[in-house]
Amino acid sequence: KDNDEEEEEEESSSSSGSSNSSGESQNEDKSVELILNNDLILQLQQTFGNCSLPGGMNLSPVVKLPVSLARQLYGYIMDSIQSNIDEQQIVIEKMIAQDEEVAKLLQDQEENSLRMPQLQEIMDMEIALAVHKADQEELQEKNRDTL
C-alpha cells in the first residue's frame, strides 16, 4: 500500500502542483517515470471522478512527472513515514508505561502478600507472649498462695 500512497500523492500533487512548477523550466525538461497500480487508479477515480478507462481493466500505467514534483512527492512520502513511525513510538511508549505500572502493581501485591505472613507471625508471637505472661502470673499467684 505504500506504493499506492506514493502514487496517489504523486497524482494529487501533479494536479495541484502543475501550475506552481511552470516557473521552473529547467526542471520541467527532466522527468521521472513512475508506475501506478490498480489500487491507486481506483482511489483516484473515486476521489476525482470517473475516468474514460473501464474500472475492471488491469493496468499499471507509467506516468512521467517533473523531477521537482517527484522530489516533492518523495518528501511527502518520507514525512508521512516519519509521522507513522512517531505515532507508533508514542503508542509503544504508552504501552511500556502501562506495562511498568502493571509490573509495579504486581510487585507491590507480591510484597504485600509476603509481608502478611510476617505480620501474622508477629501477631501470633504477641498472643503467645501474652498467654505466657498470663501463665507466669498465674504460677506466681499460686506460688504466693502456697507460701
pLDDT along the chain (147 residues), means of 10: 46 41 55 86 83 64 91 94 97 96 91 72 90 92 81
Contact 57, 42 (CB under 8 A): no
CA distances from 100 to 91, 93, 97, 104, 114 (A): 14, 10, 5, 6, 21
Which residue bears the cell 500500500? 1
pLDDT of residue 120: 79
pLDDT of residue 26: 55
pLDDT of residue 57: 62
Q: List, for residues 73-112, the tens digit of each pLDDT value.
A: 899 999 999 999 999 999 999 999 999 999 999 998 888 7
* Domain edges within the chain: 2-90
Torsion angles phi and psi, residue 8, rounded to 5 = -65, -45
Alpha-carbon distance of 106 to 128, in angstroms, equals 33
pLDDT of residue 87: 97
